[in-house]
Amino acid sequence: MLEYLRTAFTTMDIDFVVQLMAAEVLFVWRAPKRRLFVLRCILGICVCVLASVLWTGAGNRSYYSIAGAGYFVLAILRYLFLFALTLLALAFCFRLSFSETLFYGAGAYAAQHGTFSAMILFNVLLSSGMSVFRNNVLNELYTAAFFILFYIAVYLVFARRMTREKIHVGRLKVLFPALLLVLTSVAVNLYWFFGGSIDPVNLLYPIVCCVMALFILSGLFENSKLQTENEIINAMLEMKKDQGDLYKESINIVNTKCHDMKHQLAALLHAHADLREYAEEAIERINIYDNIAKTGNEALDVVLTEKSLQCEANGIKFTYMADGDSIAFMSAADIYSLFGNALDNAIEGVKKVPPDRRVIEMNVFSSGGVATIHFGNFCGGDIVFENGLPLTTKTDRAYHGFGMKSIAFIAKKYGGAMTASADGGIFDVNVIMPLPSDFRDISGRGKGIS
C-alpha cells in the first residue's frame, strides 16, 4: 500500500499544478493585469509545470526511497512549494496585493483539493480504487471532465461574486482559512500514509473542510465588501458635511454682499435717472440670491438654497414644501448628505429628459410621530433595481451608486427606512423616520415653500 501511495503522489505532481492554476484562474481572471500579460502567463505556467516535472523526476531517483515520517514531510513540503510557486506566478501576472494573492490562492487550493477528494471518493465507491479506467488516456479525460464540472459549480456558487469587486481583507484574517486548508490536507495525508488505507469516510473530511474554507472565504469577501461600502459612505458623509459648511459660509457672504449692492444700486437709481434701466436689470439679477430657503432648519436651508441655484442654472423647476422642524432631530451632517445626495440624483436624472419634464418636487413633513421625506422627478429610460436600490447608470460601479446607499444608511441610523420606485417615467424616493419623543411637539413651526 505504501508503494501504491508513493506512485500516486509521484504521478499527481503535474496534474496538481495544472489543476491548481486552473482553479486560480476562476478567482482572478477579472483582476488587473500587468504589462505583457500574455508573455508573463506563458512564462509563469512554464516555470510551474517545469518545477513539477523536475521535482517528480528527482523524486523517482532519490527521496521517494525515504521511509516513514521523512517521506511524509518531504511530500507535504513538495505541495507547499508548488502552491507557493503558483502564488508567485499569480503575483507575477496580475496586479494583486499579498492579501489578495493569498486570499485567491486559498480559494483555489480549496477548490482543487475538494474536487480531487470528491473524485477519489467517487472512484473508490465506483471501482474500489483511485482510478476508474485502466487506460491512462481515458483516466486523464475522465479527470479533466470531473474537474471541469466541479470548477463550474465552484465558480457559480463562490468565485463569480468574488471576481466582480476588489477584495480588502486583513492578512491575518486571510491566513486563517488558508492555514485551515493546508492543515486539513496534512491531516488527511497523515491518515492515509500511516493508516495505509483509503476509506470513503476519511475522504469526506477533506471535502467538508474545503467547502467550509470556501464558505469562510466567501464570508470574508462579503464582510470586506460591506466594510468598504461603509468606509465610502462615511467618507461621503464627512465630505457632504464639509461641503454644507462651505455652502453655508458662501451663501451668507454672497447674501450680505448682494444686500449691500441692492442698497447701493437703489441709491444710484434715485441719483441718476439715466441709469434707471441698468440699475433695475442689475437689481433683478441680484434678487435671485434673495431666494434663500426658510424652512426653520438651518442645515436644510443651506442645501435647498444651493440646489435651487443649481436647478435654476440648469433650467430645472424645483418645487418644495418643507417643514424643517420635522427633521430637527437629525444632525447637520446627515441632513447635508441625505438631501444633497437625493437632490443630486434627481438633478442628474432630469437632465436626461426633455426640458418641459425637468421638474423636481420635494416634501418634508411629520404626522403621527413619523417624519416623512419625499423626492420625485421625471426620469428617462428603465431603471434597474437590485436589493431595493436602483443600480447606478455610470460605468464605474466600484465608486458610484453609493448616494442611494448613503440615504438608506442614514434612514436606518434613525430607526427608519428608505424606499425607491420607478413607475410611469417618475422616480420616487421616500424616507420615513420615527420622531424622537422630545421632538414630537415642535414640528410644524417652520415651513419653507418654493
Same domain, 313 and 204: no
Domain-embedded: residue 189: yes
- CATH number of domain containing 407: 3.30.565.10
Per residue of the chain (450 residues), give pLDDT as tens.
344 344 444 456 778 899 999 999 999 998 889 999 999 999 999 999 888 877 665 554 444 455 555 666 677 778 888 899 999 999 999 998 888 888 899 899 999 988 988 888 888 887 755 566 666 778 788 888 999 999 999 999 988 888 766 666 665 565 677 667 766 776 675 566 555 566 777 778 888 888 888 888 888 887 776 666 666 556 555 655 555 555 555 555 555 655 556 555 565 556 555 556 655 565 555 555 555 677 888 888 888 888 888 888 888 999 999 998 999 998 888 888 899 889 988 998 899 899 999 999 999 999 888 999 999 999 877 777 777 777 765 544 443 456 788 888 889 989 999 999 888 888 999 999 999 877 655 555 555 556
**Cell numbers given for 127:** 471501482
Domain-embedded: residue 287: no
**H helix intervals, 128-170:** 136-154, 160-162
Choose one of 228, 254, 276: the last residue of a domain: 228
**Can you give the residue range of the structural domain that contains 132?**
2-228
Same domain, 84 and 192: yes
| Helices and strands (H, E) in the chain, number of each type | 12, 8
Pick from 110, 249, 287: nearest CA to 184? 110
- The DSSP letter of residue 314 is T
8 A C-beta contact, residue 337 and residue 245: no
Report the SS3 class of residue 366. strand
pLDDT given at position 204: 82
Domain-embedded: residue 253: no
Domain-embedded: residue 286: no
Domain-embedded: residue 405: yes
Same domain, 329 and 423: yes
Choose one of 206, 228, 250: the last residue of a domain: 228
Same domain, 218 and 307: no
Same domain, 173 and 299: no
pLDDT given at position 248: 58
Same domain, 218 and 354: no
Same domain, 91 and 208: yes
pTM of the full predicted structure? 0.60
For 286, half-sphere exposure in the C-beta direction (CA atoms, 13 angstrom radius) is 19
8 A C-beta contact, residue 111 and residue 151: yes
pLDDT given at position 284: 57
Domain-embedded: residue 434: yes
Report the SS3 class of residue 414. coil
Domain-embedded: residue 145: yes
CB contact set of 421 (below 8 Å; sequence gap of 6+): 427, 428
Choose one of 189, 213, 228: the last residue of a domain: 228
- Per the structure, how many domains does the chain have? 2
Same domain, 208 and 317: no
Same domain, 356 and 214: no
Same domain, 25 and 144: yes
**Cell numbers given for 145:** 471532465
8 A C-beta contact, residue 191 and residue 137: no
Same domain, 334 and 417: yes
Domain-embedded: residue 234: no
**Cell numbers given for 394:** 455610470
Same domain, 72 and 150: yes
